[in-house]
Structure 1
Amino acid sequence: MIINNSTSFPIFKKGQQLKSSSLTGIVNFAKSEIMDTRMYLEGAGIFYGLEVTIDQQNGAIRLSPGAAVTSDGKLFSLEKEIIFRSVSDVQIPLLTKTPTVGLLSTGEENHNKLVYRITGVDPDNPNGTPDARTYLIFLVMTEKTASEDSCLYGQDVSETSQTNTVQAVLVDKNDIDPNELKKWMISVSSNTLGDDPFINRFGYTEENNKPLISFAGFTDWGKVSDGFEAVCKAAEPLIATSFKMMYDQVKDKLGLDPVNPFTGVGNVLETLRAYVENGGGILYPWLYDYYRDLIAAYQELVSTDLFSYLSYLPAKDRFEQYISLGSIRGEQGVKYRIGLYRPPFADLSVNALQKPKQLIERLVYLVDTAHTRFQDATGFPPTTVGFTPDAGINRELSKRAIPFYYKDPATLAESWSAELTRSGRHSTIPGIKDDRDRSYLLANMDGYEFFRIKGHTGALIDPTMDAIEAQRRELHLPFDIKVLYLGAKDDMTQLIKERSATFSDLTVILEKIVNDIRCARTCSDEFEIRIFRRKFDRNDIGSMFEALVLLFDGTKDLDEKLRELCDSDNFCFDEDKTCCRSHLTSLYAVYVEYVRRKEELAGNLLFHLFAEKHPGIEHNGGVPKGGTLILVCGKTDPAFLSEEKKSSLVKLMLSDQAAGISMVEELGNYQVLADFCLPYTCCSDRPSINLVLQEAPPVALFSIEEQTHLPEGQGTAVVLKNESLRADTYRWTLKDYEGTVLKETDTSDINEPGKFELLVEDGVVFTITLTASREGMSSKYAIEMTICPQGKVQVTSNGKPVVDWDVSQQSELGIEAFPYGGSFAMVLKQNDNEQELDPTEYDINWKEDKEHLTLAIKQPQTGLYQLRYTFEDIEDCEKGLAILDIHTRVSTAPQPVPVNRDVSPSPATGHGAAGSTIDAAVFNKRILSYRSGVNAMSKEDDSLLADSRWADTKAFLLAGGAPEDLHTAYEKLQATLQTGFTKLKVAQKTQVIKLLIYATAYYIDRLVVASPDKVPAIAKKLIKAAGESVGAQKDGAQQWAQIWTDAGIITQENEKTVAAYKGLIA
């Protein structure tokens, strides 16, 4: 029953005469109670199922089994799938209207009408106006009352019955008031929480009306203290407002004290901040941490389930007597489907109310500053250094350790974590007792990602660092330590000046320069005095450096400065001033390096400069695992340091030990004022170890499950089994021998096999690739398949199966083979003998079109060669052989061999040592040796066959064309070989350099033949770049000399050109 809403129902007495209204009242009362129970205690909307599928191909709408409850509590349920195939127009009461809707039915009488609404195209009039309207699919309950005569009451009295029917209808979206659609959404309560409180990061400031984080001004403790004070002060009103508003919202629902305990919180925090300020601000870092605790406690409270359900309440008129299942042609991104709306606390666990109450109790405890130690007269901050293990700075407050600035951590632990309190294990929370914290770190550190620190602020750096280093060593804690100094850049520079800083390597250099000056005796006797303002003194080397600073400081034009010095009286005896200028230039270089190191030193020791170079510095009251603990120290009075301490400090700062914990030995009188941290190791000489756990990537893998021949020799059908790991989507790709994609299929079912038909008409070499993917990661696995060509094999030369080859006139034979993908064998027949040639005795290379090849026999003989092109390696491939008969001969009167068209455009002649003619056969033989060398590399390392760099080099050596094309091809290949070179392993680099040598040798020989009298400018640039790459590689020059030589190719015409090429690569 509804509160403040009277509900009446009949009550019967014995002997009472019954009326129809009484019986009807009983029914209505029971029905009302059932519907209210559903709506207020269980929820409304679609609970499960009732999914709509639009089947455009068959012109049908499918509705899956499921259940839903209307906003007024009526239950709609479906046990079996319904397929609607017809629609008819009817008028029914719906919402606030009685529109004409499309009543869906399972019959076929108006099938085309439904197709028209689903597809937008009228099957009876395809050229008619398309239906572009948006239809919503509703389940609607209609009521029908009927009367019939009853024999019990005679002729004039009838019996009445009511029938409720749930029907599926299509409703034109334009017939629905938009305000009715808005009712489907959850209605948000007007008294929701305001903005969450927050505290800005240390260093927050504004420049040019733009907020940012900057450490530039933090050069003394006063400014650091002001930085903490500013962010704390800004957070106080946010904390006060949000805490009070939150309590007012939940106090009635949780039965809390009506008096808001957070009233006046802002004043309490302001008073505490003033106390810290009056104490010199040394406690500001901990006050900052305390405010962050309060905000974290608030965020944990408002993130509970309690607040997600307080934000809305059910409304009975949201979707009375109907449920919307979806739409046809709905707006993109809009789902016209009613969700499931649960009432408050319907899904809350048994502890859902207990936990918020405990979290509020904890917040009340924390905000009471009397429970903190900030205003303790003694003992705070603590003086004993200690570490407390912590789950992590970004974890919920209840998961973290209890900070040391609370007075009674044992009492606070009882409300710190609701889960541990409920299980009685709250005493195990770190931060209660120091000895227990230490035992946690000795037992198992895996659950802790952060180490809280205490006992270091306000203490002298020397004993503090000793204590920190001792605990880090004893507990084997993984973090680094860095000491920084508060001060201005000028202060640090002056400190270094006062103590005459020393750099050992620069000292050696400076001494050598001075000795050279003395030995040369070209400068005046006053030279040293003019430079160093006294005689050079190696025992006061720091002052010597500072003298260089005074001499050269402010120099803008070095030449002008040197001229001014050398031309001055009694400065230099050298007439042309050459030696004088040389010595001064060397001294100037020492000055520049000395000043640079001083600048670098200041940036490595001053807090504000170091922070600029290391973004991410934060004050968190400790250090993350694997991070860097930064101790910021300073002094209140410069006289606080003795001269001995000053000297020791500066010497240490300028040594190799400056960055890290060794520095603390000479920082004894500096006070630790605050701690900061970095989330990474940055500063010590210890190697950092970063362990990153990543999800295992997917692995693509498949095997051939079935392979069958297609009828009439069309090809082969294959079925592939997907054996991939850790993937959820898969893509099958089929490519032909040219890399053209023939077919692609996608699936998310690993059990769905890949199926392809490999047709001979597309070639016989195919590549099948499976790409397995998951969450942006992917893996590929591919296999190459060669199928039987079914007798369609050819190998010819100029289209003929028999060819005569004069090997004295032509070093290579052009041939054609089809289809691509077979293997070659060669047989020599002489007289009655038949001998199969070893593959090393001849070279056969495919050209880029994979239809033409070149054949070269290293030591050809006269006779009959048979070149056999076969697919015999393929199982059951009986019709996979073709033979080319090659009759070789030697001309009786040999003529100069014409240059192969793929090598050069014209013959090259010249003179040798005895004036003999040099013909193009020499160049052909050289070029064949380059090709053989590249082929031999792949036989030594078969992995090169899959390397695009090797394939591109081989293609370049087979290419022909004009010199312009040659330049372009060589430049492109050079860029390919150099891409990613620095990331290769040593063996791979050696292979790439060797490929570059073969390509460059081929390029030069081609150019010598094409342009014997000149070196093209583009060639000079490209060959010089290649020479630098070859020379930089170990044994590169030796390899070049073994592969390319000018022996036998020099003529009177090309002599200067060959020498120029040789000089470029030497």
Structure 2
Amino acid sequence: MGNVLDNISKDNTRFTIFENDQVLTADQLNDLFNYLEVQNKLTRTKAIGVGIIYGLEIGVIDSKHLVISRGAAITTDGDLLHFDYDQEFDQYAVFEDLNAKYAYFLTDTEQPMPMFELRDSRITGSIPGNDLGALEASTGTTFKDYAGVLYLEDYNNDPDLCTGADCDNKGATAMKELKVLLIHKNNIGALLQSMPAMNKDYFALADLDIPRVVVNTGIDKYAELSSAFANALTVKDDIIDKITKAYQTCKLIVEDDFEGGDPTEKWKSLLSDQFNPQAPFYSQYVYDYARDISYAYTELRESLFSDDMLASPDVELFPKHVLIGLVRDATLKRPIPVVFPDIRFPQPTGIPVLEERRNLLLRSNLFSTSSIRFNFGVLIKRFHPVHIDLEYRHHFYESPILNSNNESDELTRFNFMRLHSMITNFYIPTATDLQSLDQGLKIIPSLYEDVPLGERSIPFYYRYDEKLPMNLYWNFNANNRKRENQILSYNATQYASSAAARTPLNFNILKYTFFRIEGHIGFKLTDVEASLNKLILDNNLPINFISVQVEKRLDTIPPRSWFFPHLYMYEKSIKSTFFDRIDDADSVNDDLVKRTDVATTTIPATEFKTARQNVYDNAKDIGDSQFNYMSYRSAVSNVITAASNVKAQTKQFTFSNTAIPHDFILNSDVLRKTDVISSIYQNTVIKKKTGLMLGNFMKDNPGLEHAGGVLRGGTFVLVYTADDMVVVGDFMLPYASIDKDVVADPPIYTPLPLPLPPDTPIIPRFPIGNVFEIIPSYTKNLDLKLIPYLKDVDLDDRVNIKVEKGIKEATSGLDIRLQGFDQRLKESSNLFTTVFTSPKTTIPGRDLTNFGGVDLTAEIKKYKDNQLLLQDLPVDAPDRKEKEAELLDSANILTEKLNNAAVTNDVNSAVEVKGLLADLHSGTSLVQNAELKGQAITIADRANVINRNLRFNR
């Protein structure tokens, strides 16, 4: 008997309507039967599916019996093959397909395929066979080399017209017997052809992988960054090959969507142009574009995987058989009861024992679960909801109606149109384009790359075209639901009407995990930072950003508002102490000039007051952009000089209760401590700037990737070049990288007010009225003071005469020595007026540029000019290194000439030389360049040697 669904014709689509008293013919009855059978089979194959629905695994128990679990299957001819209960077989026999002559059981040479039929000897009326336990020995094979086949032997048995009883035509009998066959896997080749080639289009396409952009931490030039993107873009040819093959593979499905015919030639031309951007720094967007194509291609390929969906299966695939897989090891959880072919009806013999067994089976729960446990072993290679053997076993191939969620063909067509739209609409707007359109930096909420491409926002490098709108072909579900105008993008204002799509940052953003940042490449760094910072703050976005420079150049890295609390507090403490001292000295000076009992015209109080104010004017915080360390140093030097001048003019006075405040100023180490703080600050700033170079930043912050935006809670990294300070790229860190030393509004130091009651006058720091005494202690007449007391001593006249004589002699010598001290103090006071002053300043009777007959006027002038120039030069000035080298050259020449015996042996100029050497130390300490530090140290060491060789007038 042939396949029923193969024989559908016009006769199978009509049947006779029966009427009363009509004559029924065989054709009329057969037409009705055929129609009903065909409809039943079509319902199974086209509306449900074909293949194994469940169960029907085959296994061997103790190398003796074979078992098959209960299950069901549908053949491509619509036959339902099933076992309602687990089956156990203990015998076999050679099977010859003499009746149906099934084509699959013939080899290529038209010879019958070797097969064995399984039998259960326990069933009454079964034909005896061979012991199954002897199969392996007799054939020299093992059970596991065989595959099981369910075969519906379907044929018509038409006996002769005449029998022993009569010659009436009783008609043919349709024979349909379900058999279990064993076929060796080496002989099953023809049957394997009956397995549908599923997802052949899917497996015909290869993956499209995009290389990663690899940036070396030693990067120092923009060309190296551009090269890193260029290396990744070598994937262009692979992209062209893969999408071209995808179109050829799916041409029958999608060709009607392209009115101009095959679009692949146009794709090739466009991609070749698009992968050569106008400027190198737009390469990052071409790289993003390549990744988008990769995602779109992957989703297109996935749409070809139909999950075993089979529409209108070919009847000839497996019309009367089903492959149930290779034999596996199995064990029984409980014995399998003997089940008759159909237990719904009593056996014809009417034997009571059989009836009782039938009723017992109907009442029992033995068949609620399978009695067999299969050991699948290493054969399980892939997961599938039902099947475990993908090579020798028919799957269940669903009807499209049961797999409607895939919408396979429509999804494939959509993915091709999206790919076509992406390639057609790709365009990178330049900075000039954005300025002409009055557009700039935007932040668009999106989702990260762990979701399908269509669920993300549309990048800004896809322009909007009404004839081929990118938003229409971006998301499949949005297309179906007519929600394409709700998709977020940089260009959403050109197609969206809702406020949520046009201004998404004004609405709920909690569902978004990523933020696209676009419209900043090619713009100045300062403008980008200002715009980005405003957007983040105004919209309270959960991201932060940082800017790094490609080149490793300190001088071009802009300073940040760094604030270092430990240095700030220490510096404030030093300054406050020093300011207290100069305020005290200023109060004393004011009191002195008001005295009427002494001459005060020579006291330089005005000079000190001016120098004091100059200190205040230059005493900015070291982190302040207006702070000039050399100006502050000069101001402190001047106030010390002014204090020494005041002290020189007040030698006839002395403090009554404590030391003079001017002494605290003269002995202050504020400059040395400020030197230390300034050096630490500069080194800290250098370290901070060094960390803002791209290569160094990558070392300190692993995980840097280019993504076209930043994850929620992450850090967006702007990359700019040193020469023009233009943003040329961006990267992302998936975590927050925050410079805690950047403080927008650093604290301002203000002295704490004294907790005084109201109307309480402020207590002066010094009791000004009792500071000075007019008569210095070293001019007192000891004779007048001591003799009256000596006279009161009870001594004889000879002793009194001797004591009085001795006192006069002693006080006479003391007066001479004090007069000499006054003269030396007067001479030394001139020295205070020249401390920290220019070498051009002279002391009467002394040349400060000629030492021991060696004229150093030119060398000192050149050194001083270089020193003053370097003092006012910012540490990050481009020519700082050059000026430091010039200072060291002049200092080197000066120290070589000072290192002369004529100079070091001149006792009259030793003090001046010592001061000049101190000035050399101060100048060389200004050198910040690491390469010149060694030379500066060498000069300072030479100055120390000269200082030790100086001869002073003792």
Normalised to the residue count of structure 1, the TM-score between the two structures is 0.44
Q: Which has the larger radius of gyration?
A: 2
- Between 1 and 2, higher relative CO (CA 8 Å, sep ≥ 6) is seen in 2
Q: Which has the higher helix share?
A: 2
